[in-house]
């Protein structure tokens, strides 16, 4: 399994430290060069050669995380995490795609994938993350007015939505692992 950690200037030090301990063979890619560098880093590794695990620069992994992905037979696996006021269960923050799933979703299909917003943000009324709030029946699709996204390019803000949409178009659903991983809430917007 290939492990990819993309980072920019606002990388979290604790996330980087946890990576060094728990996934020391991870590949580091600096993606602060452009809005689409994250997409290009994923694009070039989206193939049927090796399973791909992504860890984002503000996710603090634990000792069990990599092994949990290695030992799970599902195609699309995610450790969710809490953001202020909501949770993310389909982001790329701590995710593993089996090569079979990547083979089934041509990388060229990802920029045109449609996004399902309700599957993305799950507001929490209680302060706890409510994964059960994902509404699988929602079929409303949105497009983005983003100036960077195009038929071939995806900005870092929308990459997770597009990947999720492309997988769902092929019938895949995320398999959620527990417990949540820790997210350091410092990301630039
Ligand atoms: Zn799994
Ligand atoms: Zn965009």
Give whichever of 100-109, 115-124, 164-173 has the largest mean pLDDT. Answer: 100-109
**How much distance in Å is there from the Cα of 87 to the middle of ligand 1?**
18
Eight-state DSSP code of residue 133? G
Task: Give residue 115's pLDDT.
Answer: 67
Average pLDDT of 24-29?
A: 98
Query: Do the domain assignments include residue 70?
Result: yes
Ligand in nearest proximity to the CA of 53: 1
What total of structural domains would you count in the chain?
A: 1
**How much distance in Å is there from the Cα of 149 to the middle of ligand 2?**
4
Ligand in nearest proximity to the CA of 95: 1
Query: Do the domain assignments include residue 152?
Result: yes
Residues whose Cβ atom is located within 5 A of ion ligand 1: 72, 74, 77, 175
SS3 94: strand
| Per-chain mean pLDDT for the chain | 85
Give whichever of 56-65, 104-113, 135-144, 163-172 has the largest mean pLDDT. Answer: 56-65
Ligand in nearest proximity to the CA of 178: 1
Query: Do the domain assignments include residue 189?
Result: no
Closest C-alpha among 93, 90, 142, 96 to residue 116: 142
Ligand in nearest proximity to the CA of 69: 1
**Residue pointed to by tokens 């030090």:** 13
CA distance 10 to 178: 26
Average pLDDT of 90-97?
A: 93
**How much distance in Å is there from the Cα of 47 to the middle of ligand 1?**
19
Query: Do the domain assignments include residue 104?
Result: yes
The DSSP secondary structure of 66-130, one letter per residue, reads HHHHHH---SEEE--EEETTEEESSSSTEEEE-HHHHHHS-GGGSTT--B-GGGTEEE-SSSS--
Task: Give residue 131's pLDDT.
Answer: 44
The alpha helices in 56-114, defined as continuous H runs, are: 65-71, 99-104
56-86: pLDDT as tens digits: 999 999 999 999 999 999 999 999 887 776 6
**How much distance in Å is there from the Cα of 78 to the middle of ligand 1?**
7
Query: Do the domain assignments include residue 72?
Result: yes
| Residue 141, pLDDT above cutoff 50 | yes
Closest C-alpha among 113, 56, 118 to residue 87: 118
Query: Is 150 in contact with 111 (CB distance < 8 Å)?
Result: yes
SS3 53: strand
**How much distance in Å is there from the Cα of 171 to the middle of ligand 1?**
16
Query: Do the domain assignments include residue 22?
Result: yes
Query: Do the domain assignments include residue 188?
Result: no
- Residues of the chain with pLDDT > 90, as a percent, come to 61
Query: Do the domain assignments include residue 14?
Result: yes
Token pair of 133 as six digits: 């709030």
Enclosing domain of residue 21: 2-183
Burial of 33 (0-12, 13-18, 19+ CB in 10 A): exposed
Average pLDDT of 40-60?
A: 97
Residues whose Cβ atom is located within 5 A of ion ligand 2: 146, 148-149, 155, 158
Ligand in nearest proximity to the CA of 97: 1
Ligand in nearest proximity to the CA of 174: 1
């Amino acid at each position: 399994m290939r492990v990819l950690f993309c980072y920019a200037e606002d990388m979290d030090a604790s996330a980087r430290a946890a990576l060094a301990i728990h996934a020391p063979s991870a590949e580091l890619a600096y993606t602060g060069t452009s809005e689409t560098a994250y997409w290009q880093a994923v694009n070039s590794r989206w193939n049927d050669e090796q399973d791909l695990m992504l860890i984002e620069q503000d996710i603090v992994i634990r000792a069990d995380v990599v092994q949990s992905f290695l030992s799970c037979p599902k195609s699309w696996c995610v450790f969710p995490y809490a953001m202020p006021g909501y949770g993310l269960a389909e982001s790329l923050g701590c995710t593993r795609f089996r090569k079979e799933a990547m083979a089934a979703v041509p990388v060229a299909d990802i920029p045109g994938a449609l996004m399902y917003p309700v599957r993305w943000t799950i507001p929490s009324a209680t302060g706890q993350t409510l994964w059960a709030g994902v509404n699988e029946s929602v079929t409303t699709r949105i497009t983005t007015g983003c100036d960077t996204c195009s038929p071939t390019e995806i900005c870092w803000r929308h990459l997770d939505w597009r990947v999720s949409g492309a997988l769902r178009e092929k019938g895949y659903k995320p398999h959620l692992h527990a417990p949540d991983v820790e997210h350091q809430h410092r990301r630039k917007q």
